Amino acid sequence: MKIGFCSIDGIKINEHFGKAEKIFVYDVNLHSAVFLEERKVEKADPNNEHLDSIDGKIEKIKDCKIIYFTQIGGPAAAKVIKNNIFPVNVRDGFPIEEAIGMLQKSFENPPLWIKKILREENEVK
């Protein structure tokens, strides 16, 4: 499944969802994680409540099942969830590699939210 990470450097999760200008996308399964691409996304416009730029950002990550970030606003989180992308908030500077490892470990005995994603993934294939 494709997973997105809001990051400045591609190493750590260190960006607010709305402020992110880059999202690093990986294909992750139980046994591997492959970096696919760095996607450039529009930074939110604070003068415009930034909901228009949030829509554009979501459009660019619609194929991702999970998005990791350091913070997200309520309306943006609602839009992410409405588009069947699971939002995950982590502490600033959390390593992407470590997040991937924890996610892969959770595949062994998945919580309900991951079971739902895995079930949807299998239905699509």
CATH number assigned to the domain comprising residue 20: 3.30.420.130
Per DSSP, 78 falls in state H
Give the model confidence (pLDDT) of 7-55 as tens digits. Answer: 999 999 999 999 999 999 999 999 999 999 999 998 766 666 555 679 9
- What range does the domain containing 115 cover? 2-124
- Per the model's pLDDT, the better-predicted residue between 87 and 122 turns out to be 87
Nearest to 4 by CA among 45, 50, 42, 37: 37
Domain count, the chain: 1
pTM of the model: 0.91
Contacts of 88 (CB under 8 A, 6+ apart): 66, 67, 68, 69, 99
Region for residue 36 given its phi and psi (left: phi exceeds 0; alpha: psi -120 to 50; beta: otherwise): alpha
Q: Pairing between strand 33-40 and 22-28?
A: antiparallel
Q: Return the closest-CA partner of residue 73 out of 91, 89, 90.
A: 89
